[in-house]
């Protein structure tokens, strides 16, 4: 957990990140020794392992090739998760230089990813925002929507952030009602995925249609409709939880 000053001989994967960007020369995450990338003398924090080697975080900006971590999402889902961790930790330390209660400067905990105020003894952890995402089946159809936030032609399942004081299940029922006007039943949990844009943890569910007619919330959605499982529009890429929920629902539709 301790930052260390690089001598140059350290090996591994190098996440160089600031302001939600990451250094990807030629679109790849750099690997090898610190010397190879002229990183000796920099402070680096080990934040995980990838293919048997240490993943290091260096919190700074390079002069070029600072990119969105989205570029890594298509490479490998595990690597994307580590890059997401690095980008979020870099942003956490940048936004927690001073205590929110008393305004004094803070220190990094040597034991965990946390910032400590030595004056009032408050402790801060990286913010994680839980969100829900749900695949909804009606006989051999699936509910897919085009979101206002992503105007890229992709049709996907419904999603939204959990509100304070709400269970995950309540959040699913509320989001589905708010965005599409329908009621669901038989809600069950499937899997989760960290999603570093900027700090969400998506929890994935499947559900069945219960009642109601689709009524689109125009603030959130461009469109929403039932699609037969063998005639889907453009859907999200593999290795996303949205895609998995769609594929799981398609499998259920096929067995109808």
Determine if residue 21 is labeled as part of a ligand binding site. no
Closest by Cα among 50, 55, 87 to 68: 87
Tell me the C-alpha distance between 253 and 250, whole Å. 5
Tell me the C-alpha distance between 57 and 46, whole Å. 6
Find the binding residues for Zn ion in span 121-160 (CB under 5 A): 122
101 touching Zn ion, by CB under 5 A: yes
Least CB distance to Zn ion at residue 55 (A): 31
Least CB distance to Zn ion at residue 119 (A): 5
Least CB distance to Zn ion at residue 118 (A): 8
Pick from 120, 128, 234, 251 the residue near Zn ion by CB under 5 A.
Answer: 120
Q: Kindly indicate which of the ranges 115-123, 127-135, 178-186, 192-200 contains the residues binding Zn ion, using the contact rule CB under 5 A.
A: 115-123
106 touching Zn ion, by CB under 5 A: no
Closest by Cα among 145, 13, 140 to 75: 13
Determine if residue 205 is labeled as part of a ligand binding site. no
Alpha-carbon distance values, 49 to 21, 95, 115, 250 (Å):
20, 25, 23, 35
Least CB distance to Zn ion at residue 100 (A): 8
Pick from 1, 43, 51, 102 the residue near Zn ion by CB under 5 A.
Answer: 102
Find the binding residues for Zn ion in span 79-98 (CB under 5 A): none
CA atoms lying within 13 Å on the CB side of residue 63: 0
207 touching Zn ion, by CB under 5 A: no
Determine if residue 220 is labeled as part of a ligand binding site. yes
Determine if residue 196 is labeled as part of a ligand binding site. yes
- Taking the least distance from each CB to Zn ion, the nearer of 87 and 99 is 99
Rounding to the nearest 10 degrees, give the CA dihedral for residues 86, 87, 89, 92: 180
Determine if residue 253 is labeled as part of a ligand binding site. no
Tell me the C-alpha distance between 120 and 85, whole Å. 28
Pick from 116, 117, 224, 246 the residue near Zn ion by CB under 5 A.
Answer: 117
- Taking the least distance from each CB to Zn ion, the nearer of 106 and 134 is 106
* Cβ-count burial 135-162 (b if 16+ within 10 Å, e if not): bbbeebbbbbbbbeeeeeebbbbbbbeb
DSSP string for 50-101: ETTEEEEEE----SS-EE-THHHHTT-HHHHHHHHHHHHHHHHHHHTSB-TT
Give the number of residues in contact with Zn ion, rule: CB under 5 A. 7
| Interface contacts to Zn ion, rule CB under 5 A | 99, 101-102, 117, 119-120, 122
Annotated binding site: 70, 99, 102, 112, 117, 120, 125, 159, 175, 179, 193-200, 220, 242
């Amino acid at each position: 957990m301790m930052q260390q000053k690089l001598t140059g001989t350290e090996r591994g994967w190098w996440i160089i990140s600031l302001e939600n960007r990451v250094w990807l020369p030629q679109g790849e995450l750099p690997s090898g020794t610190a010397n190879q990338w002229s990183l000796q003398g920099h402070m680096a924090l080990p934040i995980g392992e990838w293919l048997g080697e240490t993943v290091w975080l260096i919190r700074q900006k390079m002069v070029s090739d600072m990119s969105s971590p989205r570029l890594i999402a298509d490479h490998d889902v595990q690597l994307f998760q580590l890059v997401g961790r690095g980008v979020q930790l870099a942003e956490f330390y940048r936004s927690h230089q001073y205590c929110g209660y008393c305004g004094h400067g803070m220190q990094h905990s040597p034991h965990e990813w946390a910032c400590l105020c030595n004056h009032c003894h408050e402790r801060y952890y990286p913010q994680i925002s839980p969100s829900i995402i749900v695949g909804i089946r009606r006989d051999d159809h699936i509910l897919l929507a085009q979101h206002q936030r992503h105007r890229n032609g992709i049709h996907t399942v419904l999603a939204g952030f959990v509100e304070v004081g709400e269970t995950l299940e309540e959040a699913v029922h509320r989001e589905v009602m708010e965005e599409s006007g329908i009621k669901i039943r038989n809600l069950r949990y499937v899997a989760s995925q960290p999603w570093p844009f900027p700090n969400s943890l998506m929890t994935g569910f499947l559900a069945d249609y219960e009642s109601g007619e689709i009524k689109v919330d125009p603030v959130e959605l461009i469109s929403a409709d039932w699609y037969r499982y063998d005639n889907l529009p453009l859907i999200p890429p593999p290795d996303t939880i949205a895609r998995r929920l769609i594929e799981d629902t398609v499998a259920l539709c096929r067995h109808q």
